[in-house]
A and B are shown apart, each in its own frame.
Chain A
Amino acid sequence: MVTYAQRHGLKPLGAGIGLRRSFYAELPRTGRTLDWVELIPENFLSLGGRSQRALDACAERWPVLPHGVGLNIGGPDALDDDYVRGLSALVKRVDAPFFSDHLCFSRLDGVYLHDLLPLPFSEAAVDHVVPRVREVMDRVGRPFLLENPSYYARMPGGTLREADFLRHVVEQADCGLLLDVNNVYVNARNHGYDARAFVDALPLERVVQIHLAGHTCYPDVIVDTHGDRVCDDVWSLYRYVLARTGPVATLIEWDQDIPSLDAVLDEADVARAALREVAGR
């Protein structure tokens, strides 16, 4: 089967990390191996000074992939023209081969909620999201990936299985899938399903990027905090995914309690080793 990446001429990029504020000075000068860098567009569309200097310095060394949190692809408001225009300019400025955001809503009645809120797994939500994804791809003019979000409660009105909901959206919109393996693990634990069976039900031929992250375990719920190392179970699930997809650009996400740059790059090294292992099979 021809994959989404092959159709769009997208090559596996290796292992990357996020360009976070605490790394603005150090990351562009690192001598460690790094294959690509992910940035959160919201931090660069409206913030000048150090953000722009760090972005320019990184873009000179590595491919840069924008991964948004504010597109609001599933929300009821019309797409934010200023945001999409800025995002499009940023994607072209860094010459990103693709860009991504989350399958969620994040804005209501003009108010940004600054969170990734889950949609009901329903046909109505599929019908609502698909044309918006197409509109974004038309306006930005580059391949677009949707990420499977973590969620702590199934929203009311859901009629579809989560994997089917994801499949319907990405297939009907003809976009790629950013598979957050930690989110799969967290959701599986929080909602009591089998993570590997969930992966098997996904349109894996559309996976162009993978996210790995740490989470926080509470007595009654696991929260997707991006605040720790990737746990052994998530590494194991990652290798399970790679065995089915082959090498896929993989990001270490670390957004809270961010450790040293070296500690994050150590995690990226582990991902790179797994990518090489699967590429060598």
Chain B
Amino acid sequence: MKPSLRDFFDSMGDYLAAPGPESLEALYARHPGWEAPRERVSLYGGFVLGHVRSALDKVFPLTRQALGQDAWDGLGVAFTRTRPARHHELNHLCEGFPAFLADAAASRGVAPFVPALARFEWTDFAVFASLAPVPERVERLTANPTLVVLEHDFHVCAYVRARGAATSPEAGAELALLWRHPEQLKTLYMAATPPALLVLKMAVEGLALADVVAATGMAEADLRATVTRFGRDGLVLLPENGGGR
């Protein structure tokens, strides 16, 4: 690459890393005689910032609501300066935002539940778009390959289900399960319950229905109904015999 072109890219990189009036003047200073109108060149800075903001707005609607517009705007600007777009797919730039928020929480007075909420919202999207192959048929009870388990100190599932109607989620340990329904292809979620964890354990460890009945003392019909229910919800994939061996 010729030095003139290299210098062009370097100068644009410096400007687009932090678009604003000062960086725009610095860009022009590196190209004496450049006659392009500044308001036209600054469009590109606005576009690049706008793409990051629009992705954040789309993926984190409840986090934004919980933070309030001013705090959200400030965090968006600060996050953009970390140059998060390392992936060719636009939404993936959001992946690092929950960790960024967690790091920034103390210094910016962010409520303690907000990083967990952001992690939940990112996971909601990541599960929705998961590339994990989901088999059309399974030989035995199988955990949904898109399943993600989150552990946090707030009742985030109920807060999200209420679309953030409460001021904040209730405090308390929660294991959140998020998975993509294999037919509806939308993300489902729930706070883990003992029956859900039992069915997942059966799937992961390959436990037979009869053995679980024997070990737990549950009625076989109840256990079979539980497996069927979570199969219908897509948390686990059922073999043709319904998973009851």
- A interface list, Cβ under 8 A from B: 42-43, 45-51, 53, 70, 75-76, 80, 83, 105, 108-115, 117, 120, 122, 124-125, 127-128, 152-157, 190, 220-221, 223
Contact = CB atoms under 8 A, between A and B. Distances in A.
A42 B4 CA distance: 31
Contacts of B9: 75-76, 105, 108
Contacts of B37: 153
Interface in B93-135: 93, 128-132
A43 B129 CA distance: 10
Contacts of B48: 113-115
Contact of A117 (B36, B44, B93, B130): B44
Contacts of B39: 220-221
Contacts of B89: 42-43, 45-47, 70
A77 B92 CA distance: 20
26 contacts: A42-B88, A45-B89, A46-B87, A48-B129, A48-B131, A50-B128, A51-B129, A70-B89, A76-B5, A108-B12, A111-B86, A113-B16, A114-B90, A115-B48, A115-B51, A120-B8, A124-B4, A124-B5, A152-B40, A154-B36, A156-B8, A156-B31, A157-B4, A157-B5, A157-B31, A221-B43
Contact of A48 (B16, B44, B132): B132
A112 B2 contact: no
Most buried by A among B16, B88, B93: B88
A112 B8 contact: no
Interface in B2-60: 2, 4-6, 8-9, 12-13, 16-17, 31, 34, 36-37, 39-41, 43-44, 47-48, 51-52
Nearest to A47: B129
B180 interface: yes
B185 interface: yes
B13 A46 contact: no
Nearest to A69: B88
Contacts of B148: none
A75 B13 CA distance: 11
Nearest to A25: B185
Contacts of A108: 9, 12-13, 16
B128 A49 contact: yes
Given A127-B2, A128-B1, A157-B5, A113 B85 contact: yes
Interface in B123-151: 128-132
> Which secondary structure dominates chain B's binding surface?
helix
Q: How large is the interface on B (under 10, 10 to 19, 20 to 34, 35 or more residues)?
A: 35 or more
B163 interface: no
A155 B13 CA distance: 13
Contact of B8 (A50, A155, A221, A223): A155
B88 A76 contact: no
Contacts of B91: 47
A29 to B, nearest CB: 16
A47 B91 CA distance: 10
A47 B90 CA distance: 11
B245 interface: no
Most buried by B among A50, A80, A110, A156: A156
Given A42-B90, A46-B88, A156-B31, A109 B13 contact: yes
Contacts of A42: 88-90
B86 to A, nearest CB: 6
Contact of A153 (B36, B52, B88, B180): B36
A161 B93 CA distance: 36
B4 A83 contact: no
A45 B89 CA distance: 8
A20 B41 CA distance: 29
B28 to A, nearest CB: 9
Interface string B203-230: 0000000000000000000000000000
A110 B9 CA distance: 12
A125 B85 contact: no
A174 B43 CA distance: 32
A190 B51 CA distance: 23
Contacts of A154: 36
B232 interface: no
A53 B8 contact: no
A50 B180 CA distance: 10
Contact of B129 (A49, A122, A127, A223): A49
Contacts of B83: 109, 111
Contacts of A76: 1, 5-6, 9
A44 to B, nearest CB: 9
B95 to A, nearest CB: 11
Given A48-B130, A53-B185, A70 B1 contact: no
Contacts of A112: 85-88, 90, 93
Counting from the closest, the 5 A-B pairs by CB-CB distance are: A153-B36, A156-B31, A70-B88, A124-B2, A153-B40
